[in-house]
Amino acid sequence: MLLNVINLYQDFHIPIAPPHHKHTRKGWVNTVCPFHRGSVGGYHLGYNLEKGYFFCFGCGWHPVNLTIQNLIRADERQVKKILLNYAVAGQLLESSLKEEPYERPDKLKWPEGYGKMVAVHRNYLLKRKFNPEQLEREWNLGGTRYWGFYSARIVAPISFHNEIVSWQTRDITDRQKAKYLPCPKEQELLHHKQLLYGFDQARWKTVVVVEGITGVWRLGPGAIATFGVEYTPSQLLLLQSFDQVMIFYDGDEPGQDAAEKMAMELTGIGREVEIWQPFSYDSGDMPQEKADEIMKEVRK
């Protein structure tokens, strides 16, 4: 998590090392380390402005939340609020998406042919050993007909604070080039990559993170998806709402690399994180009995 650490230090009267101090390096902001006894006046503790972590020249790496807690002498609850107040995730999201300016619609626009699921959609779900009625009830799934750009797809609404703001689709023929197609940005009220699928339904302190919407369907409420492994700073900010995060990305190299990166960033701000060892199947293809067993523990 990247912080506007200079503003934070100034607001809490934490001394900042001069630019030409012997321990200061380009891209770092240094102060006195609260963990290192020999650092009085030495400005040994540096904060990396690019990667968002603390490292002391005398005693090594320290977690972000614990470091801030010791620097400002605040309790854990206060630190959580402070981290959110000084996060720069919104600025990072704007630059990382590199969007051209455009007007968002006043009302969410659904894909052509959208309506309730019919037999072909339910048969696809049954073929994949899902319960169509349960998914309709829990996730408000719909479907498209056999015409238009989004033909023959299941439509999954995406909600945020109980308002439907976007959607994503899944091909039911397994013959289309793109299995998943998202809502175009000019048709959605909030960009789906700023959100987590299943966020509103995750009411526990522990959450399971998967790549795609079918993994959420399989695991049920308490699981959330990042719409692929390339998660955004805004999604990482939403994950801070949970005390414990179980990462269940696919077993391929991109999935595991992303899982390691997410674990490092969340651990740095004090979240408990566990990366599940990849199974021989993706989360959406997991046996339902196994998924139910996993989520029973998560929802305790």
How confident is the model over 190-236, as pLDDT tens digits? Answer: 899 989 999 999 999 999 999 999 999 999 999 999 999 989 888 88
For the cut 70, the answer to whether the pLDDT of residue 278 exceeds it is no
Per the structure block, which two tokens stand in for 96?
């990382």
Q: How far is CA 232 from CA 1, 145, 226, 235, in A?
A: 11, 32, 8, 5
How confident is the model over 115-173, as pLDDT tens digits? Answer: 999 999 999 999 999 999 999 999 999 999 998 999 999 999 999 988 999 999 999 99
Q: Which long-range contacts (CB under 8 A, 24 or more apart) does 27-36 make?
A: 29/5, 31/71, 33/57, 33/58, 33/59, 34/67, 34/70, 34/71, 35/59, 35/62, 35/67, 35/70
What 3-state DSSP class applies to 276?
A: coil
Enumerate the CATH 3.40.1360.10 domain ranges in the chain, comma separated: 206-298
What pLDDT does 215 receive? 96
pLDDT band of residue 179 (cuts 50, 70, 90) is very high
Report yes or no: 179 and 171 within 8 Å, Cβ to Cβ: yes
Longest dimension (CA), the chain: 72
Per the structure block, which two tokens stand in for 65?
């939340």
140 vs 22: which has the higher pLDDT:
140
Give every strand in the sheet of 54-56, ordered side by side: 28-31, 45-48, 54-56, 60-62
Per the structure block, which two tokens stand in for 182?
């998202």
Enumerate the CATH 3.90.980.10 domain ranges in the chain, comma separated: 119-189
Q: In the CATH hierarchy, which fold is given to the domain comprising 206-298? A: Dna Topoisomerase Vi A Subunit; Chain: A, domain 2 (3.40.1360)
How confident is the model over 39-72, as pLDDT tens digits? Answer: 455 788 888 887 778 888 777 778 888 899 889 8
Report the CATH superfamily, name and number, of domain 119-189.
DNA primase, catalytic core, N-terminal domain (3.90.980.10)
What pLDDT does 226 receive? 96
* Euclidean distance between CA atoms 79 and 283, whole angstroms: 34
